[in-house]
Chain A
Amino acid sequence: AQTVTQSQPEMSVQEAETVTLSCTYDTSESDYYLFWYKQPPSRQMILVIRQEAYKQQNATENRFSVNFQKAAKSFSLKISDSQLGDAAMYFCAYRSEETSGSRLTFGEGTQLTVNP
């Protein structure tokens, strides 16, 4: 079974600064997706960014980018120019691409605080 680990329960960053959230995972599969979801206080799960494992190029979405290290099974999220609205819980998630309809497996989450 796949596992996802987020070793930072809490992180904080100053507004306009950059922060990196860590995620590692364990799998024996070669084809999979990785995701970062944001959960604000409303508890809605919002997709931030996704990465296909077969792609060597790191995904970017505006101020959000990832550092995907497939051999090391590492998938960190970098938030640049942090804004107050970025404050939320962030979850890393894994999904197999080898089976249709496969589940998402989540990490424990990192609570991000943005200080003005």
Chain B
Amino acid sequence: EPEVTQTPSHQVTQMGQEVILRCVPISNHLYFYWYRQILGQKVEFLVSFYNNEISEKSEIFDDQFSVERPDGSNFTLKIRSTKLEDSAMYFCARDGPRGTDTQYFGPGTRLTVL
């Protein structure tokens, strides 16, 4: 049983276009996270989201990125003007009940920027 679901599973876009990646938690949790993994590299933290606000963001999470919870359940990661180097797997993750425990990952969205 997935902890979170993500859509789409694969997104292909042209450089300069905007993309929105979606994460749907199976149950209600307080903390959510976005991570990025460029092919062949390690998983990198982008941003954490708590109680409808950004809790922490990394140096990667610059002005081209934004996160929202538009309808109280789905979480979205928006990349405003995609670059070739944004091609990567993007993972959404949610916390265990205490917010300091294991993080459970969704299946990821593979983003390809042409």
By a beta-carbon cutoff of 8 Å, the part of chain A in contact with chain B is 33, 35, 37, 42-47, 50, 91, 93, 95-97, 99-109
Contact = CB atoms under 8 A, between A and B. Distances in A.
Interface of B: 30-31, 33, 35, 37, 41-45, 48, 50, 55-56, 58, 89, 91, 93, 95, 98-105, 107-108, 110
A22 B60 CA distance: 27
Given A33-B100, A95-B100, A101-B31, 6 more contacts: A35-B102, A43-B108, A91-B43, A103-B48, A104-B43, A109-B42
A102 B89 CA distance: 21
A93 B93 CA distance: 14
Contacts of B30: 101
Nearest to A44: B107
A45 B42 contact: no
A27 to B, nearest CB: 15
- Kindly name the residue among B42, B98, B110 whose own CB sees the greatest number of chain A CB atoms within 10 A: B42
A103 B50 CA distance: 12
A37 B104 CA distance: 10
B12 to A, nearest CB: 16
A97 B100 CA distance: 5
A104 B103 contact: yes
Contacts of A37: 105
Contacts of B31: 100-101
A101 B43 contact: no
Given A45-B91, A101-B95, A91 B42 contact: yes
B81 to A, nearest CB: 25
A50 B5 CA distance: 23
